[in-house]
Amino acid sequence: MTDAEVLQQVRDARDAYAHSHGYDIDAISADLRAKAAAGGRQVVRLPPRRPTGLSPEQREALSMLAEVWALSPEVRFGQLMAHLDLLGDAHVGKRLGSIENEEFVAVLEHHLDELKARQEGREKPPPELAGNAPSVSQYASEK
């Protein structure tokens, strides 16, 4: 039996069940509750999970990320993330998958400074984060 055939059987069974209850969602719900109660199994109801929200550090990183992206409208988001991955490697020695939040903020700050310097026509890039790490443009051309 193919996947399509199995899927069609499931759809047919679902339609037949709904048809037997006149496609009435209240009748279907009542029937399912009655079947669950008759099954003798304990139903466990957990409280809904509440989102914890973002930390101030995460909000700062997202805000900076939006600012960096706004300064580079010609860059697609995936390209920006790949670019930041290279920057993380060059300036912190870590790729995005293993970088800590505060390190990511530092990389974003550095890149933001670099973008602003280019827009203002400043010759010198901002101070480096660590060691003698090149700008990302230099770094990418060396790879």
Report the C-alpha gap between 4 and 29 in whole angstroms. 28
CA 30 to mean position of chain CA atoms: 38
Check whether 143 has a pLDDT greater than 50: no
Find the domain containing 13 and state its range. Answer: 3-38
Which tokens is 87 given? Answer: 């920057």
pLDDT in tens, 19-31: 999 999 999 999 9
Indicate if 62 and 32 belong to the same structural domain: no
Indicate if 33 and 68 belong to the same structural domain: no
Residue 50 counted as domain residue: no
pLDDT in tens, 67-123: 999 998 899 999 999 999 999 999 899 999 999 989 999 999 999 998 998 888 875
Report the C-alpha gap between 59 and 37 in whole angstroms. 46
**What pLDDT, on a 0 to 100 scale, did the predictor assign at position 141?**
46
Which tokens is 78 given? Answer: 């995936």
Rg of the chain over all Cα atoms, to the nearest angstrom: 27
DSSP label at 124? S
Residue 81 counted as domain residue: yes
**What pLDDT, on a 0 to 100 scale, did the predictor assign at position 14?**
95
This prediction has a pTM of 0.52
For residues 98-109, one letter each, b for 16 or more C-beta atoms within 10 angstroms of the residue's C-beta and e for the rest, the string is ebeeebbbbbbe
Report the C-alpha gap between 107 and 113 in whole angstroms. 10
Indicate if 18 and 82 belong to the same structural domain: no
For the chain, the average pLDDT equals 85
Residue 49 counted as domain residue: no
Provide, rounded to the nearest whole percent, the portion of the chain with pLDDT above 90: 53
Domains held by the chain: number? 2
CB 96 within 8 A of CB 81: yes
